[in-house]
Amino acid sequence: MGENMNIYDFTQEELESFLIENGYKKFNALQIIDWMYDKKEYDFNKMTNLSKKLISFLNENMIIKTPEVIKVEKSDLANKYLLRLEDNNKIECVLMNHDYGYSLCVSSQVGCNMGCSFCESGRLKKVRDLKLEELVGQVICVSKYENIRIDSIVVMGIGEPFDNFNNIKRFISVVINPKMINIGQRHLTISTCGLVPKIYEFADMETGVNLAISLHAPNNEIRDKIMKINHAYKIEKVMEALDYYISKTNRRVTIEYIMLEGINDSDECAKELANLVKGKLMYVNLIPYNETTHFELKRSNDFKIKSFYDILKSYNVNVTIRKEMGGNLSAACGQLRANVEEGE
Ligand code: SF4
């Protein structure tokens, strides 16, 4: 069978078929899943309701493992975890403690090829996609590390989830499965920089999973400059795809908009953005940019952000300003990993 497979790399259906193929019963899958997800047991020998034969089959053919937490940065609103994967690659995820519970922001790839100009992750080119076991592993290892139940998940960390679409689909099935991670689909959000064909495919899945789009500019001229993806898929095409998603799902789309001084924060930009989204089932999340040492870009000042917000409000657009995560945390996604790899 070659190298042992990680049992966290299976959806329920995949594990059932695998066990049946190897002479075991379908219900054995749910017994094992209960140990993995409910009891977070990492030792097959301690899964006491399994037969001895099944336990030795698992020991011989599978491993049960999640990534390892190697560094944690804490602030009042968020904890950032640096995790080491089996092949020594590193990823990160961020735990936020909101009034409504714990929300975990997970990564979808090691590095990212989308090359957004404001993003630390884009500096670290994509090495590979994350496997299902690593997507799931982020959730299991952080909830085990902190001994908490995670209430919602956003796939908004390092990487472009729709560039790892097949594993994201499998991850969705594990997250919303009541026997597995058991987080309702309305508490799961996938964020894309705008891979238009995948937005259509995602819409056609007709799940209740939320969609967020990193728009960050109200027109092609600005978006071309700060997001390479806009060369492939123009704003009009992105907006059409979002309209399609809304028509299929009747779910509200989140428009993410990082406020960059002198680039996308003028009153004119606010009006253009308002005209793009007004009257649609969309809401705008304004994100004060976290300045990093690697880029020239600056965060818009509070006055500009407030006036941008007021203009959107005057068009009856639903808008919020995202709370900042505290100055002592490494700023943009990917920065913690970059710092460790550069030995800072
Ligand atoms: S913002 Fe997202 S899509 Fe863009 S480079 Fe960073 S991780 Fe990739």
146-200 tens-digit pLDDT:
999 999 999 988 899 999 999 999 999 999 999 999 999 999 999 999 999 999 9
Q: Residue 164 C-alpha to ligand 1 middle, in angstroms? A: 13
pLDDT of 292: 72
Please give all residues whose beta carbon lies within 6 A of any atom in ligand 1, as ranges: 112, 114-116, 119, 121-122, 158-160, 193, 214, 333
**What integer pLDDT is reported at residue 294 of this predicted model?**
65
Give the model's confidence band at 212: pLDDT under 50 very low, under 70 low, under 90 confident, else very high: very high
Residue 122: the pLDDT is 66
For atom 4 of ligand 1, the residue with the nearest CA is 116
- Rounded distance from Cα 259 to ligand 1 centre (Å): 15
Res 185: pLDDT = 94
All structural domains of the chain: 5-63 (1.10.150.530), 68-341 (3.20.20.70)
Take residue 257 and report the two structure tokens written for it. 């908009």
Per-residue model confidence as pLDDT tens digits over 271-302: 999 999 999 999 999 988 887 766 788 999 99
Is pLDDT larger for residue 186 or for residue 119? 186
> Which residues are the active-site residues?
92, 333
Percent of the chain past pLDDT 70, that is, above it, reads 92
228 alpha carbon to ligand 1 midpoint, in Å? 10
Nearest ligand 1 atom to alpha carbon 158: 7
